[in-house]
């Protein structure tokens, strides 16, 4: 078997999710090639070549892939992927965008968002917002798969020595063009891969109060997230949303502040190793999944939490 992993990156660095996807590929078993498609991605290809378990890195370096337009990436991956038994990428917004095009162009099904590998053709994935877990067998000759990164422990980023091969395949579908983007600028770790996440909900009352969480986050090296209620109320932007329709996170420590624990939020964080809930409503469902619950007014508890952390960190 031979597996093609499409690297996730932003043209400046390799995303850690790629290492989780390589781990999923290792669980399937076989030679693992990584395709790095983007613009000026030489350093990313070198980083991918060092990842544990990678045989070969293929590089498609061209402006047509610079903004990861699904129409162009879809054609590229469908052509390169034809020779492989499995094509895998991360279930981030880029992978979710182009991968179904690859499957359709190859006339095969896609298995979305897998969290476990049972065998080379059988995979486990959540359905109904994580309220049910399905084991699915794929019968197509090429398995096209998106991987939920939190389902797999990443392979080592260093130690590998894969060969790097430049591809001369330029696919410009001519259907779409990049207009612009607004990226949130933050010095904090990436929400999806942070070791500690502190999230606020409707109980935060407004966006300004999230500064309290940011101060705690900076102390702990954490990312800041939010519930859908906080996003819908306009406190914070949508890319901070943790839940079924936002980011799926599984950090070592998840601190839920003023979050009631709606099922759609739990779908996004219940695989966290340790969950802390701070909420003044002791009946809040979040306490049913929390390892440590504190029934308290968050406006008193969070500043105290910051002070206590300063003593021990």
Partner 1 sequence: MKVLVAVKRVIDYNVKVRVKPDNTGVDLANVKMAMNPFCEIAVEEAVRLKEKGVASEIVVVSIGPKAAQEQIRTALALGADRGIHIETDEEVQSLEAAKLLKAVVEKEEPKLVILGKQSIDSDNNQTGQMLAALTGMGQGTFASEVVVDGEKVNVTREVDGGLMTVALNLPAVVTTDLRLNEPRYASLPNIMKAKKKPLDAMSPADLGVEITPRLSTLKVEAPASRQAGVKVADVAELVDKLKNEAKVI
**Touching partner 1, residues 10-49 (CB under 8 A):** none
Which helix (H) or strand (E) element contains residue 216? helix 210-220
Question: Is residue 60 near partner 1 by the rule CB under 8 A?
Answer: no
Indicate the DSSP class of residue 208. T
Question: Is residue 245 near partner 1 by the rule CB under 8 A?
Answer: yes
Instruction: Please state the closest distance from residue 100 (CB atom) to partner 1, in A.
Output: 4
Question: Is residue 312 near partner 1 by the rule CB under 8 A?
Answer: yes
φ/ψ bin of 11: left (φ > 0), alpha (ψ from -120 to 50), beta (otherwise) = left
Q: Given the complex with partner 1, which of 181 and 208 has the nearer CB atom? A: 181
Considering only CA atoms, which of 246, 284, 254 is closest in space to residue 270? 254
Considering only CA atoms, which of 5, 3, 105 is closest in space to residue 45? 5
Q: Given the complex with partner 1, which of 155 and 220 has the nearer CB atom? A: 220
Which helix (H) or strand (E) element contains residue 229? helix 228-232
Considering only CA atoms, which of 110, 109, 115, 108 is closest in space to residue 134? 115
Pick out residues in 108-147 that bind partner 1 (CB under 8 A). Answer: 108-113, 122, 126-140
Q: How far apart are CA 123 and CA 112, in angstroms?
A: 10
Number of residues that bind partner 1 (CB under 8 A): 89
Among 170, 173, 188, 207, indicate the residue that binds partner 1 (CB under 8 A): 173
Site string for partner 1, 249-288 (x = CB under 8 A): ---xx----------------x--xxxx-----x----xx
Residue 13 assigned to a binding site? no
Q: Cite the annotated binding site by residue number.
A: 202, 227-228, 241-245, 258-265, 279
């Amino acid at each position: 078997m031979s597996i093609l992993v499409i690297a996730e990156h932003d043209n400046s660095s390799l995303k850690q999710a790629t290492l989780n996807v390589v781990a999923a590929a290792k669980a399937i078993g076989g030679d693992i090639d990584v395709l790095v498609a983007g613009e000026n991605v030489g350093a990313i290809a070198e980083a991918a070549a060092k990842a544990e378990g990678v045989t070969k890195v293929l590089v498609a370096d061209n402006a047509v892939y610079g903004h990861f337009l699904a129409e162009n990436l879809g054609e590229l991956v469908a052509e390169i992927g034809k020779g492989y038994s499995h094509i895998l990428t991360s279930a981030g917004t880029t992978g979710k965008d182009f991968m179904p095009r690859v499957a359709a162009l190859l006339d095969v099904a896609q298995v979305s968002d897998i969290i476990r590998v049972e065998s080379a053709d059988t995979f486990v994935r959540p359905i109904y917002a994580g309220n049910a877990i399905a084991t699915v067998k794929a019968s197509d000759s090429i398995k096209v798969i998106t991987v939920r990164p939190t389902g797999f422990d990443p392979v080592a980023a260093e130690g590998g020595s894969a060969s790097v091969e430049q591809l001369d395949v330029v696919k410009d579908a001519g259907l779409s063009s990049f207009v612009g983007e607004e990226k949130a600028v933050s010095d904090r770790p990436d929400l999806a891969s942070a070791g500690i996440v502190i999230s606020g909900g409707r109980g935060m009352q407004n966006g300004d109060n999230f500064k309290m969480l940011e101060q705690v986050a900076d102390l702990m090296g954490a990312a800041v997230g939010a519930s859908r209620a906080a996003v819908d109320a306009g406190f914070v932007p949508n890319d901070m949303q943790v839940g079924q329709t936002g980011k799926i996170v599984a950090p070592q420590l998840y601190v839920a502040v003023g979050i009631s624990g709606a099922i759609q939020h739990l779908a996004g964080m219940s695989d966290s190793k340790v969950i802390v809930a701070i909420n003044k409503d002791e009946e809040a469902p979040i306490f049913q999944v929390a390892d440590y619950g504190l029934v308290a007014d968050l406006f008193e508890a969070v500043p105290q939490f910051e002070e206590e952390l300063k003593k021990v960190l």
